[in-house]
Structure 1
């Protein structure tokens, strides 16, 4: 492991297997049952996913909110493509558990403001209902190099619980880690839910409503689930410093995930993080890291980095969070997450295998008291 400074691990890549050159038996086991796309952008952004699902001859699931409209997406679907388009502006009607982790942060400045976890958990719920064993999570700003990369990832699910795809192009990091890289720090990218093939019929896992929810999904009983990487995808560029609130809403999840994966890096179980004494050390490391990044940002030239002020504001927002992030809260959240793992397992095991019948599946996908729900599909029988 390459570590640049003692308070930050710049890479966790050594925790996973790499299969960039080994081609599994695609004829025997390649293929996914569905591509699941959480989306907040205009439906035109789905063109790549539509083409990919068509090439893979699988179902396309699109989960819409903000600027994305499931009705408009429905009109874009080509003949012959099996699809499910769901509006998730309000996730409350979805038949998802009431997670203890969400309750821990509710009403605090650390509460998550996105619906990404609800969308991904809905994908897992649909997989259970429809009998899909292998699904690909794909963000709407990520493009896969080719369908063979997906088939290779799917084939590896014979031996692994999850298979990530290397994200090229714009780095997939938190705001603070973007600032770290831009000010001279070494910073790798780990497996991300934006391009992740998963096997759904084995040990159940879920995405908690917090930043780095995908890192939590990848954890098993004591360490990382069976995980590998193959192929590559490209993420569209964006400005990570355009809204300081992004850093504020990421920081708690970044603290937790980096704290847990630090233990894995050291050959320990994430369960060693169950005590406040551990988080006192982890938080001290994190604040030292942020202080170091902030110092380097302050030293940048405005001429060389026109967005230096925005970068500084974002790092300061992350630092501000530490007025609320205490060891006791970290332990309480971790305890709630352990409880939620069991809650999700119980919930998903109560969901029947319906098969490709959306009228029947909707009875389990949506809470019974909801009369109308924005859902469009190509198959209704």
Structure 2
């Protein structure tokens, strides 16, 4: 039996009470998903299930490619499905959206995140703006390590977006948690899961849009206002491919700042009553003293986990201990002042993004959309029965175009 982690300023094992669960109230939606947006870094073969899923749902697939994922390779996979329609967009290293606010990406916060480098928030924000430009109301973000084939759950997600601006799924197998949360579970403590950006539906007609900051747990910040208002719905469970959370201690180091902030903020939401208080008033409660105490509680949490793992001498527990030590080393560098400054930057960025995203209106064609986004390399593909299985013929037939921006 798992044990609780006691202490008012320590890590909370669950935030499930903050979700609005609609799994038992499914009714067919009048309108389905317009697009599925996949931030992709794995090889194109990992996308076969999502290509098929998008085709069966009649949704455009948007694949945002970097690292091992390339526009050309994804186009080859899309060509094999005659019913698929897809955008493949190259997101090169260092790419930045002109519309994306940058205060939360300041050097002091990057240092607090141990030099963390990720393009995930950029990709997701690109997906939001593309939806505005293309006139897509309902989109679903799905990570490229999610395996889902059931269209019914996405119809339920689409229905939820008729009345909520966000709805998602919970990854329980394999659990979607931070390294520290995985260590908690390994030590025998109860550790729940929460909705994440791994499968997240967004109604892009519902303004103002929020955005994904460049920090670990960017998705928790993205839907934090919805959580405060008790408007984030869970429509079911998703399956994530397993990975080894303790293989690289650097992972724990790069997650520590974002995990500290998100867990602290959500604990405040749970304690303060959320909607009765309001979002700005809730953020006002995250004072210097709160973060000073929360950092102390986080340090105690690390120590407790290590004390329970100390008696075990397996490869996994030794790796977990090294990861916890890396997280502890990073925590020493994080001050309450930095936490306060990040939330101040977050509020300012939210205001700027609300104005810039609201000013993004539907355009007349794909070329104009890509020019607005500053995208230099992209392709659009529409399959057809006579061209299934031939990437070259599909390129010729269906506007798979490489675009080089003049800027």
TM-score under structure 1 normalisation? 0.92
> In the alignment, what sits opposite 2:336?
327
> In the alignment, what sits opposite 2:146?
142
- Distance in 1, Cα, partners of 2:109 & 2:289: 25
- The C-alpha deviation readout for 1:223-250, integer Å capped at 9, x for no partner, is 2461111122111111001111110110
- The C-alpha deviation readout for 1:99-158, integer Å capped at 9, x for no partner, is 100015366252431111011111101011011111010000111240110111111111
Q: How does 1:32-51 map to 2 (within 5 A)?
A: 32-51=33-52
Quote the offset at 1:262 in angstroms. 0.5
> In the alignment, what sits opposite 1:200?
204
Quote the offset at 1:374 in angstroms. 2.3
Among 19, 22, 28, the residue aligned to 1:19: 22
Give the SS at the match of 1:141.
Answer: coil
Residues matched between the structures, number:
369
Give the SS at the match of 2:197.
Answer: coil
Instruction: Give yes or no for the alignment of 1:344 onto 2:362.
Output: no
> In the alignment, what sits opposite 1:315?
324
Deviates more, 1:334-343 or 1:266-275: 266-275
Contact between 1:274 and 1:335, CA under 8 Å: does it hold in 2? Answer: no
Contact between 1:177 and 1:187, CA under 8 Å: does it hold in 2? Answer: yes
Residues 129, 3 of structure 1: alpha-carbon distance in 2 compared, 3 angstrom cutoff:
farther
- Distance in 2, Cα, partners of 1:105 & 1:191: 28
Quote the offset at 1:338 in angstroms. 0.4
> In the alignment, what sits opposite 1:158?
162
Contact between 1:34 and 1:58, CA under 8 Å: does it hold in 2? Answer: yes
Deviates more, 1:83-92 or 1:326-335: 83-92
Give the SS at the match of 1:158.
Answer: coil
- Distance in 1, Cα, partners of 2:40 & 2:247: 20
Quote the offset at 1:80 in angstroms. 3.8
- Distance in 2, Cα, partners of 1:72 & 1:256: 38
> In the alignment, what sits opposite 2:184?
180
Once superposed, which parts of structure 1, at least 4 consecutive aligned residues long, lie more than 6 Å away? none
- Distance in 2, Cα, partners of 1:204 & 1:102: 19
Instruction: Give yes or no for the alignment of 1:275 onto 2:287.
Output: yes
Give the SS at the match of 2:147.
Answer: strand
Q: For structure 2, which runs of at least 5 residues remain unmatched after alignment?
A: 275-281, 382-397, 402-407
Among 212, 217, 220, the residue aligned to 1:215: 220
Give the SS at the match of 1:377.
Answer: strand
Q: For structure 1, which runs of at least 5 residues remain unmatched after alignment?
A: 368-372
Residues 177, 93 of structure 1: alpha-carbon distance in 2 compared, 3 angstrom cutoff:
closer
> In the alignment, what sits opposite 1:5?
6
- Distance in 2, Cα, partners of 1:90 & 1:106: 20
Contact between 1:38 and 1:120, CA under 8 Å: does it hold in 2? Answer: yes
- Distance in 1, Cα, partners of 2:85 & 2:116: 32
TM-score under structure 2 normalisation? 0.86
Instruction: Give yes or no for the alignment of 1:124 onto 2:128.
Output: yes
